Every structure is written in structure tokens, then in C-alpha cells.
Amino acid sequence: MQLLTTKQVIIRISASIAAAEFLIMLFINIIPYRLNAIAEAALDVIMLSALTTPLIYLWIIKPFVDARDEAHAQVSHLAFTDPLTQLANRRQLLSHLQRIIAGCNRHKTYGALLLIDLDGFKLVNDMHGHDAGDAVLVSFAKRMRESIRAEDFASRLGGDEFVVLIDRIDANEQQAREKTLKIADKIIQLANTPVEFNGNTLQVGASVGITLLGFEHLDADAAIRKSDVAMYRSKKAGKGRAGFSD
């Protein structure tokens, strides 16, 4: 839906008033009795208002407001969404992560931040081009978003790095670790799924760094840094695995 231009608004208002006034004059001329000037003017004003108000609202004001609201929603979406994968971007991630940290502290339960880096992604880009790399990113993002719970949160941090936030896993630390590892293993399996692109089979893997969120007071950036360190340890340990920051 496109915003009405100033010219379109003026034309529509003028057309609405002209059409309404034409109908009013016809009505006044066909009524069986004569009105004095004051009565005719009053009738004209009342009928003009009654006819043009709903017409101007439905034909001009409502389309303008709907188009403006849609434009604002699109701008907001672009500001908080990665344009390639349609996942949340870093800006939205930081805001959501801070809320999850606060909620886990308040409810005395654990959440988790999983930072995922695609192993072998650079090789795909170098061998098959950036379009192939984009296809891998889009495919992985879609599979990951569909595999997590509705209350959890997926984001593209940048490049071939992604983040999954798991909210309120368990109040018991050991149980929270075990459940988070199962989720991480599932994400690694998703990354291992080949992607077909232009007749080529593209294969990557994933290394995951995990930080439990809950009883330690962290800011969002610190939590991401801890998971980043854990992810690189996982890579050095042989890739295709997950490890905790502590």
C-alpha cells in the first residue's frame, strides 16, 4: 500500500465535495416546496457534512493512515531484522538478551545463550561464490528457526555466526546443562544437513559456545563474549561440537 501524495489527497477531497454538492443541489431542486435562503443553506451544510465525512474518511483518511502505519512497521522491521535470513539482527538480540537475563535472575531459573559458527562456510564461499554462501545461511536460518520453541529466540549475529536464546530451561543447573546440550546437538545436526544449490551439494558444520544465564549478573555483551570464547574452544577441540563457557 502506497502513501497518498498531496496532489491525490487534494483531488480526492475536491471530488468528494463536488459530488456531494451536486447531489444536494439535485435534491433541493426536486423537493416539492420552496425553502428560504437560510433554510436552504442550513440543509446544504447538514447534507454536505453527512455525505462527505464518511466518504473522506474511507477514501482518503483511512488509506493514508493504513499506508503510514504499514510504512512505519516496515521501517521498524528493517531496523531489527537481518535482511538476508529474516532473523533478528544484533540490535534486537541485545535488547531481547537483556530481558532474558533479567527474567532468569528474577525467577531463579536458568536460560542459555548458544553462539553458533558455521564450520567450512568460508570454503563454500571461495569455491562456489557468495550466492551459494547466502543459500547456506538462509537454509540454516530457516531450519533453526523452525526447530526451536516458540518462546525461544534466533538471531544472526553477523557473517556466519548465529545466536539462539533459550528462556527458562530449568531451575536446576545440571538439568539446564543437559537440556541445553541436547538443543546444541540438534542445531549441529541441522548445520550438517547438506544444501543443494545450482546442482552443487554444499556442506558445512557448526561449532557452538554456550553460556548459562541465570544466577550470574551479566550484561548482554559480556554474555555474548563468553559464548564466543567457548565457541572458539569448541573449534580448536575438533569442530562440530558444543562447549560451555565455564
Radius of gyration of the chain (CA): 30
Please, which pLDDT band fits residue 2 given cuts at 50, 70 and 90? low
Q: Which residues, other chains included, contact 92 with Cβ-Cβ below 8 Å and sequence gap of 6+?
A: 80, 81, 155
* Contact (CB, 8 A) for 24 and 45: no
Whether the per-residue pLDDT at 151 is higher than 70: the answer is yes
Q: Which is the catalytic residue, given 119, 152, 160, 167?
A: 160
C-alpha cell at 205: 558444520
Q: What is the mean pLDDT of residues 217-244?
A: 92
The predicted model scores a pTM of 0.73
Whether the per-residue pLDDT at 62 is higher than 80: the answer is yes
Confirm whether 134 is a catalytic residue. Answer: no
How far is Cα 74 from Cα 196, in angstroms, rounded to an integer?
A: 31
Q: Residue 68 has what pLDDT?
A: 76
Question: Could you read off the pLDDT of 14-55 as tens digits, one per residue?
Answer: 888 898 888 888 888 888 777 788 888 888 888 888 888 888
Neighbours of 13 (CB within 10 A): 15
Q: Residue 166 has what pLDDT?
A: 94
